């Protein structure tokens, strides 16, 4: 196991060395690019911890190496009504919820977040599907937000609840018709298939509702929505991710609001997305609405710590 991981690290180092990566480059064919399932997870995490201290940073790049275009992947335009209403107002009503095992739950506007200490970093994003992009991210270190909220001693993980629904689970009344059932036909099988699933859903009916919506329906982003939307007969399954305290306190772990010096585009996760730079692309949760501190991941989603983790991907996606 450890030898296997060492090979991976060597492959990764070689990749870094060769690369004057000017655009979004393929790294499919490397073992890192193809690693998807839980194989070797323990060894992976073990070696990471052994070789690197908690504050070891991912490589940062000069501005000259920023990719001209940062390829968006997965959800690129959340159809959820609540999100569209926020986007229509340029996120002026957006509030990041910080709750769970904290002393003081918070609701932070973008202005609040921008007033906190910030960090800017130029890093390489590696998607598990075999492409990389270099981008400059600015945002607030997660540690700063949690300093403000105060952790309770039992807190072990940060869970990031996102705005975008990827599929519907049939609800209690989901036996006959409705999108709850149809959605299972277009359930994405891998991150890049999310867009395709949306196109099929959009063709099927008015999923997401009119984009002209001006009023956000009440939505607590994961605390047990009383009125699931946009699907009335199915339970929306939204993207989520999680990291351990080890990564929570890494200085490069930020909630980013700017990409390449400009407010994050919707396609890259506006208004706020996670950057946890020593892990693969799917950990970089976009459209983050809520950070929940928990003691265990057992009660969240299907219990593996993320939407793709619940479908077989590694929780610790170290690169």
Residue ranges in contact with ligand MTE by CB under 6 A: 70-75, 127, 162, 164, 191, 194, 239, 268-269, 281-282, 284-287
Considering the complex, state which of residue 191 and residue 222 has its C-beta at the smaller distance from ligand MTE. 191
Q: How far is the CB of 165 from ligand MTE (least distance, A)?
A: 10
H helices of the chain, where? 2-18, 31-34, 41-51, 81-88, 110-115, 142-149, 179-185, 194-204, 245-248
Q: How far is the CB of 196 from ligand MTE (least distance, A)?
A: 12
Q: Cα(115)–Cα(293) distance, rounded to whole angstroms?
A: 22
How many CA atoms lie within 13 Å of 2's alpha carbon, on the beta-carbon side?
A: 6
Partner interacting with residue 194 (select from Mo ion, ligand MTE, none; CB below 5-8 Å by kind): ligand MTE
Q: Binding string, 262-281, against Mo ion, x = CB under 5 A?
A: -------------------x
Q: How far is the CB of 173 from ligand MTE (least distance, A)?
A: 27
Query: Are 208 and 179 a contacting pair, CB within 8 Å?
Result: no
Considering the complex, state which of residue 101 and residue 127 has its C-beta at the smaller distance from ligand MTE. 127
Partner interacting with residue 72 (select from Mo ion, ligand MTE, none; CB below 5-8 Å by kind): ligand MTE
What's the longest Cα–Cα distance across the chain? Answer: 56
DSSP letter string, 16-37: HHH----S-EE-BTBHHHH--S
Partner interacting with residue 148 (select from ligand MTE, Mo ion, none; CB below 5-8 Å by kind): none
Looking at the chain, how many residues does it have?
A: 319
Binding piece for Mo ion, criterion CB under 5 A, among 13-21, 88-96, 119-127, 169-177: 119-127
Q: How far is the CB of 197 from ligand MTE (least distance, A)?
A: 10
Residue 196 CA: distances (Å) to CA of 74, 185, 191, 203, 281: 9, 12, 10, 11, 19
Partner interacting with residue 268 (select from Mo ion, ligand MTE, none; CB below 5-8 Å by kind): ligand MTE
Positions in the binding site for Mo ion (CB under 5 A)? 127, 191, 281-282
């Amino acid at each position: 196991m450890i030898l296997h991981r060492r090979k991976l690290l060597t492959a990764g180092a070689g990749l870094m060395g060769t690369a004057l990566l000017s655009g979004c480059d393929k790294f499919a064919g490397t073992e890192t690019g193809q690693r998807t399932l839980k194989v070797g997870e323990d060894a992976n995490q073990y070696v990471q911890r052994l070789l690197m201290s908690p504050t070891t940073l991912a490589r940062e790049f000069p501005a000259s190496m920023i990719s001209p275009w940062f390829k968006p992947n997965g959800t690129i335009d959340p159809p959820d009504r609540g999100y569209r209403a926020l986007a229509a107002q340029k996120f002026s009503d957006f509030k990041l919820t910080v709750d769970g095992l904290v002393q003081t739950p918070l609701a932070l506007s973008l202005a609040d977040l921008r007033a906190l200490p910030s960090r800017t970093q130029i890093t390489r994003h590696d998607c598990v599907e075999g492409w990389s992009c270099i981008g400059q991210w600015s945002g607030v270190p997660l540690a700063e937000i949690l300093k403000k909220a105060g952790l309770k001693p039992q807190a072990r993980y940060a869970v990031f609840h996102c705005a975008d629904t990827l599929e519907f689970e049939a609800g209690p009344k989901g036996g006959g018709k409705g999108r709850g059932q149809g959605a299972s036909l277009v359930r994405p099988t891998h991150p890049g298939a999310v867009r395709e699933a949306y196109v099929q859903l959009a063709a099927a009916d008015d999923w997401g509702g009119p984009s002209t919506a001006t009023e956000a329906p009440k939505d607590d982003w994961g605390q047990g929505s009383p009125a699931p939307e946009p699907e009335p007969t199915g339970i929306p399954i939204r993207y989520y991710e999680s990291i351990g305290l080890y990564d929570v306190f890494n200085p490069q772990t930020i909630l980013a609001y700017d990409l390449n010096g400009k407010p994050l585009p919707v396609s890259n996760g506006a208004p706020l997305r996670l950057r946890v730079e020593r892990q693969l692309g799917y950990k970089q949760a976009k459209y983050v609405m809520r950070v929940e501190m928990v003691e265990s991941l057992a009660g969240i989603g299907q219990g593996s710590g993320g939407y793709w983790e619940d479908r077989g991907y590694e929780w610790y996606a170290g690169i």
